[in-house]
A and B are shown apart, each in its own frame.
Chain A
Amino acid sequence: MEEAYVNAKGHIYDIQGYAVHDGPGIRTTVYTKGCPLRCLWCHSPESQEFGFQLSWLDVKCIGAEACEDACIKACPEGALTRGGPVKRTGTEETVIRPEIDRAKCTGCLKCTEVCIPKALYVAGWETDVDTVYARLMKDAVFFEGEGGVTVSGGEAMSQFDFTLNLCRRLKDSGIHICLDTTGFAPTERFAGILPWIDLFLYDIKHMDSYRHEKLTGVPNTLILDNARYIASHGGALQVRFPVIPKLNDSPENIAATADFCAELGDAVKLVQLLPYHQAGRVKYPRLGWTYRLKNVAPPSDAFMEKALEVFKARGLPCQIH
């Protein structure tokens, strides 16, 4: 008899159905909040902090006149003030929008409680295993065949109690589970969660630890060790290699990545080469952040095909995207 799971609390920032790039079949993905890495190309900046941040989606703002300065009045720090008039997107209306002084903002989030159009909103919320489980199971009818749930991040392994209990609960219901991870967590956590995970979606970002730390903020040794641990203890891996021009696309690094995947052996079910894209850029201003990666354009199709050849040459099952 299995011991009962605990209704652990967790921080998440999204749940998305039909997440077609997060593993086999039709999947619903839960995105946990908070990540120990700071990848330069991160396309979900709202996933990085463990706490909740004030976010600002200007197009939704109806103007301070219409709501009678609701957010400005609600701010105890005076961090919100009336800005200059701007045209409301998609209309001819001119509106006065608030300006956020991020230096004064303490993150109390009181303004988000009064903003009815949800132009000021919180990235992320606290929830628990039972609530997330109930939401995910609404999509279960789509999971037939290969589909299921993907637990992603942020870094889900950073909220181990929540992730482990959620995965156990889902597994008890016969749901196929992918864990999308950076691999940056204590090895004993991977040992603990291994029985409940059908497939690890596992990022390998750079084979050189020094470069890895430059690009992501952490060295790669633990990540590579954990990959070896999973492979040698019966886990299945879908390795994901984000190809970022100039940063990790040197022939040497591509070859070293392919060699590493080959070394992991049969545990590697698929290697995905993910071409860098800039879709996440628009999310940075919402948090008042700046996108740090400059002068990098997505790699060409031809380059991706060439890189794929390197993996094919080692007999690895692999694809672009």
Chain B
Amino acid sequence: MENFDYPMTARILGLKEKRKRINKDLRLNFERNRIITEYYRTHKNEYPILKRAGYLYTWLTTREINIDDDDIFLGDAGPHCRTVHFDIEQTSISWIESNFGDTDERFKAAWQVPGSVWVDDADREWILEAAKFWEDNNIAALAIGLMPEDFMPMRMGGPGGNMNLGKFLSGSYPGHFCPNYKRAVTVGFGECKRIAQEKLEAIRANTTAENVRSELFYMAYIKVCDGMIQMSKRYAEGCRKKAAETADPVRKAELLQMADSCDWIMEHPARTLWEGIQSLFFYLYLLIADGTHWADSPGLIDEFLGPLAEKDIAEGRLTRETAQELIDAFVLHIGDEIIMFPKPNNQQLIDAHAAGRTFFDLQGGGQNIAAGSLITIGGMTPDGKAGVYNIVTEMVLLGYLRLKVAEPSLALRINKYTPDRIWAIAIQCSIRSGGMPQFNNDDVLIQAMLDRGVPIEDARQYAVFGCVEPAISGKEWSMAANCGSFGAGAGPISVLQYIIHGNEDPMSHRKGDLPCKKLYEYDTFEELQAEFERQAKHYIDKMARMYHFAALVFRTYWPILSASMMTEGCLEKGKDVSEGGATYNGMGSMINAIATIGDSLYAIKKLCFEDKTVTTRELYDAIAANWEGHEMLRQRILNTLEHYGNDDDGPDSLVVWFTNLWVDYFNSRPGVNCGTNNCGALDLAWVMGGRFQWATPDGRKTGDPLSISSDPRQDCIKNGPLAYVKSVAKMPWVKLRCGGAINSRFDANSVKGDDATAKVRNLISTYFKLGGIQYHFTVADSEVMREAQKHPEDYQDLIVRIAGFSAYFTHMSKADQDDYINRFELGV
């Protein structure tokens, strides 16, 4: 069987090594923060969208142009390759003050030792000063100014703290969308500017109350177009300067070629694959400068890069090998924009350095640290008559297979047109590079888009962003899961806690909004279910309502101009995405801990109401005592009760019941910008989330990890992977239209042999036939992972799939590593 492990060029290997070197010498990006602070400080009264445009224009025309000696693609969003981004207007002031206002000794130990993300003394001084300005002007301050009072306690994780408003108010920008990179590459900012000018003139000829804001929008739009064209020309100039200094004739010619291209692109459509990819990067830099980079997607890149590559090859500009080198360079470079998330405090950094760990170790296993976070490849034409699988589809897969990069994530669309060769490369890629790509089921996802009211031609153009979330590529403002998700380790799990503990969170002793009975006071299981439903609907309503206010913050103060530049509908309507400019609008939110909740409900039902072998009082007392003194009851639940994940309708039907309840109600609430609400099932932080949850009736102890996303409880999978897949497929995936991960783990032995690819394909295809939405798998072996814990330096390339994203194993926290191995050893 072909192993697809084609050699990489020396240049690519060199670029990969270079990145490993830089990882030991990272710096925070202050350039962008200085420019935005200066602009906002001196333009206080400028209208929000003009202020945004003014800042972006200043950034585009004054920032440092960085051209590295050996790079194939030009520049970075920061002043040098792999700067670590953070956005001061979205950063909590207390984080700035406690870290940079700390004692000199502690500051140095955290930020100025080998392995740290370096911060100069001058930058430290500057940021403490800048924080004074942002205290009243950052997103959190503006949001607090318009949030109704009943949302305020949510900031503290209090009643309704199942809604993650705290994250939003601490200033996370929405991110999570899929702007029209295709337009940036194949139409260009020059043409968009021309259209904007026409629109502007038409409005000026007839200004009304309705279109007056559009006039300002177009003014801002044109300014950013100018800035983009200027930045491109500044890179052209930089290339020529570099060429003049370069002795090597090959590099000199290459730089001059790049200069010509940079003079052309942005103003005009890209003509070659190199120009296409460079255009894509320039637009990505703009999004990052705008602070909107969190978990975005460049969309269906093979759809617009494929024809450019094919043309280059047909006309002799590229060979198959040189085209692959460009794609390899693309795959490496798109992972270069590092986002600091979460933001570690000084003590965490000092502890990490003492333990010989690096910045990456504090980044939650590498999640979300690369911008441009999810690339989607494959798909079908708008008329549905053919698949979109071209040379770029294949080359991107080959890039991931050979380069073994953990980010950004890669999604492959699967449908009846998916060629055998793409299946084979994708499965081999996933085996060797830790769960990339994720496989997406077009049958379910397109139907999900249709159910949202999207016409079929556009439904067929969905792409995936974030971790697993689908949106209409280039046409949708999605803001998914980020104005406040139902929350990692929260959401329905909080409702479960309230109905057991009489409207109280037993961990914090905070009361919820709706007084209710305690577990031992319900007369029937139906009564308990009805209470679950009443509470769920209350918090869903509150959440859906909160989204409208969250969106209002952006609409009022903080337009998202970089996204509006290239999201279909905005240029046409003269409206920012925050005002409903996009053709489609969606608001996603995730539910999680599904197995923990389903198994808990089942334990209550079966033990207390069906078999009546345990009273609700006994079960309550056991949970309230965190099982202390009740270990035998806990063991009975773990070992003798049925659990979700074993194709048993007892527990599975309760999982499906509460998921349907949640999804149907959330999806039916009025969405932001008149779009749809879209529920999904994904969790990124079941270990962390579990720490804040009291013991649950499924036998889980206080503080233990929750179940992950829609996956069954890790230690209760007794009937093997087929039953597991069948259970998960019972979830209402078409309605869970914000996506959801199933994470299978195979041990290395099970994918040996010539027919392993066919077997994995068959398993995925069957899951899809049963109605599953997305499939990821990792191949690893627990011995290898234990070795990697002992000798992380030898296992820098070990990648594992977590939940909608992949991570370098050695960058994960010890707790996450242990949890992963533990789950893995259970053989699923």
Cβ 8 A contact of B753, one of A117, A138, A319? A319
| A145–B762 CB distance below 8 A | yes
Contact (A147, B762) CB under 8 Å given A16-B720, A116-B640, A142-B722? yes
One of B315-323, B477-485, B587-595, B630-638 at the interface:
B630-638
CB distance from A297 to the nearest CB of B (A): 15
Does B763 touch A at the CB level, under 8 Å?
yes
Cβ 8 A contact of B719, one of A17, A25, A116? A17
Does A139 touch B at the CB level, under 8 Å?
yes
What is the CA–CA distance of A234 and B606 in the complex, to the nearest angstrom? 52
Does A66 touch B at the CB level, under 8 Å?
yes
Binary flags per residue of A133-162, CB closer than 8 Å to B gives 1, else 0: 000001101101111000000000000000
Name the residue in A67, A138, A142 with the highest tally of chain B Cβ atoms < 10 Å from its Cβ. A142
With both beta carbons as reference points, the residue of chain B lying nearest to A66 in the complex is identified as B631
Contact (A66, B632) CB under 8 Å given A16-B720, A26-B759? yes
| B769–A117 CB distance below 8 A | no
Contact (A17, B721) CB under 8 Å given A118-B639, A141-B769? yes
CB distance from A176 to the nearest CB of B (A): 13
With both beta carbons as reference points, the residue of chain B lying nearest to A141 in the complex is identified as B766
What is the CA–CA distance of A26 and B750 in the complex, to the nearest angstrom? 11
Cβ 8 A contact of B755, one of A24, A117, A138, A320? A24
What is the CA–CA distance of A320 and B756 in the complex, to the nearest angstrom? 12
What is the CA–CA distance of A62 and B218 in the complex, to the nearest angstrom? 69
| A26–B766 CB distance below 8 A | yes
B residues in contact with A189, CB < 8 Å? none
Contact (A144, B762) CB under 8 Å given A26-B722, A138-B647? yes
Does B656 touch A at the CB level, under 8 Å?
no
B residues in contact with A319, CB < 8 Å? 753-754
CB distance from A215 to the nearest CB of B (A): 23
With both beta carbons as reference points, the residue of chain B lying nearest to A26 in the complex is identified as B762
B residues in contact with A26, CB < 8 Å? 722, 759, 762-763, 766
| A116–B762 CB distance below 8 A | no
| B632–A17 CB distance below 8 A | no
Does A233 touch B at the CB level, under 8 Å?
no
Does B770 touch A at the CB level, under 8 Å?
yes
What is the CA–CA distance of A115 and B392 in the complex, to the nearest angstrom? 58
| B639–A18 CB distance below 8 A | no
Cβ 8 A contact of A142, one of B631, B638, B753, B766? B766
What is the CA–CA distance of A141 and B723 in the complex, to the nearest angstrom? 11
With both beta carbons as reference points, the residue of chain A lying nearest to B629 in the complex is identified as A66
Does A214 touch B at the CB level, under 8 Å?
no
With both beta carbons as reference points, the residue of chain B lying nearest to A29 in the complex is identified as B720
Cβ 8 A contact of B635, one of A90, A117, A139, A141? A117
Contact (A144, B754) CB under 8 Å given A18-B721, A26-B722, A62-B635? no
A residues in contact with B756, CB < 8 Å? 20
| A116–B632 CB distance below 8 A | yes
With both beta carbons as reference points, the residue of chain A lying nearest to B634 in the complex is identified as A62
| Tally of contacts, chain A with chain B, CB under 8 A | 72
What is the CA–CA distance of A146 and B755 in the complex, to the nearest angstrom? 11
With both beta carbons as reference points, the residue of chain A lying nearest to B631 in the complex is identified as A66
Cβ 8 A contact of B720, one of A18, A117, A147, A320? A18
Contact (A116, B763) CB under 8 Å given A20-B750, A138-B726? no
Does A28 touch B at the CB level, under 8 Å?
yes
CB distance from A119 to the nearest CB of B (A): 10
Within 8 A of A (CB), among B798-828: 822
CB distance from B628 to the nearest CB of A (A): 11
CB distance from A17 to the nearest CB of B (A): 3
What is the CA–CA distance of A116 and B719 in the complex, to the nearest angstrom? 19
What is the CA–CA distance of A320 and B755 in the complex, to the nearest angstrom? 11
| A18–B763 CB distance below 8 A | yes
A residues in contact with B758, CB < 8 Å? 25, 145-146
Does A73 touch B at the CB level, under 8 Å?
no
A residues in contact with B385, CB < 8 Å? none
Cβ 8 A contact of B722, one of A28, A146, A320? A28
Contact (A17, B722) CB under 8 Å given A67-B632, A116-B636, A118-B639? yes
Does B752 touch A at the CB level, under 8 Å?
yes
CB distance from B622 to the nearest CB of A (A): 13
| A141–B726 CB distance below 8 A | yes
| A17–B769 CB distance below 8 A | no
What is the CA–CA distance of A67 and B633 in the complex, to the nearest angstrom? 10
Within 8 A of A (CB), among B358-403: none
Within 8 A of B (CB), among A108-122: 116-118
Within 8 A of A (CB), among B694-747: 719-723, 726
What is the CA–CA distance of A318 and B582 in the complex, to the nearest angstrom? 58
| B632–A144 CB distance below 8 A | no
What is the CA–CA distance of A7 and B548 in the complex, to the nearest angstrom? 63
| A139–B636 CB distance below 8 A | no
CB distance from A253 to the nearest CB of B (A): 23
A residues in contact with B766, CB < 8 Å? 26, 141-142, 144
B residues in contact with A142, CB < 8 Å? 722, 762-763, 766
B residues in contact with A139, CB < 8 Å? 722-723
What is the CA–CA distance of A141 and B727 in the complex, to the nearest angstrom? 13
| A18–B722 CB distance below 8 A | yes
Cβ 8 A contact of B762, one of A25, A62, A66, A118? A25
CB distance from A67 to the nearest CB of B (A): 6
A residues in contact with B719, CB < 8 Å? 17
Does A314 touch B at the CB level, under 8 Å?
no
With both beta carbons as reference points, the residue of chain B lying nearest to A138 in the complex is identified as B647
Binary flags per residue of B394-427, CB closer than 8 Å to A gives 1, else 0: 0000000000000000000000000000000000
Does A21 touch B at the CB level, under 8 Å?
yes
Does A102 touch B at the CB level, under 8 Å?
no
Binary flags per residue of B344-370, CB closer than 8 Å to A gives 1, else 0: 000000000000000000000000000
Does A321 touch B at the CB level, under 8 Å?
yes
CB distance from B607 to the nearest CB of A (A): 13
What is the CA–CA distance of A102 and B639 in the complex, to the nearest angstrom? 25
With both beta carbons as reference points, the residue of chain B lying nearest to A19 in the complex is identified as B720
What is the CA–CA distance of A147 and B635 in the complex, to the nearest angstrom? 37
A residues in contact with B753, CB < 8 Å? 20-21, 319-321
With both beta carbons as reference points, the residue of chain A lying nearest to B763 in the complex is identified as A26
A residues in contact with B639, CB < 8 Å? 116-118
What is the CA–CA distance of A175 and B722 in the complex, to the nearest angstrom? 16
| A138–B723 CB distance below 8 A | yes
A residues in contact with B750, CB < 8 Å? 18, 20-21
What is the CA–CA distance of A24 and B754 in the complex, to the nearest angstrom? 11
| B635–A25 CB distance below 8 A | no
With both beta carbons as reference points, the residue of chain A lying nearest to B818 in the complex is identified as A90
With both beta carbons as reference points, the residue of chain B lying nearest to A60 in the complex is identified as B639
What is the CA–CA distance of A26 and B770 in the complex, to the nearest angstrom? 16
Jot down 14 A-B pairs with beta carbons below 8 A, ordered by A. A17-B719, A17-B722, A17-B723, A18-B759, A21-B753, A116-B636, A116-B640, A138-B723, A139-B722, A145-B758, A145-B762, A147-B762, A320-B752, A321-B753
Contacts A17-B719, A141-B766, A141-B770 known; 8 new A-B pairs at CB < 8 A: A16-B720, A18-B720, A25-B759, A25-B762, A26-B762, A26-B763, A28-B722, A145-B758
6 interchain residue pairs of minimum CB distance: A17-B722, A17-B720, A321-B753, A18-B721, A117-B635, A66-B631
Interface residues of A (CB under 8 A from B): 16-18, 20-21, 24-26, 28, 62, 66-67, 90, 116-118, 138-139, 141-142, 144-147, 319-321
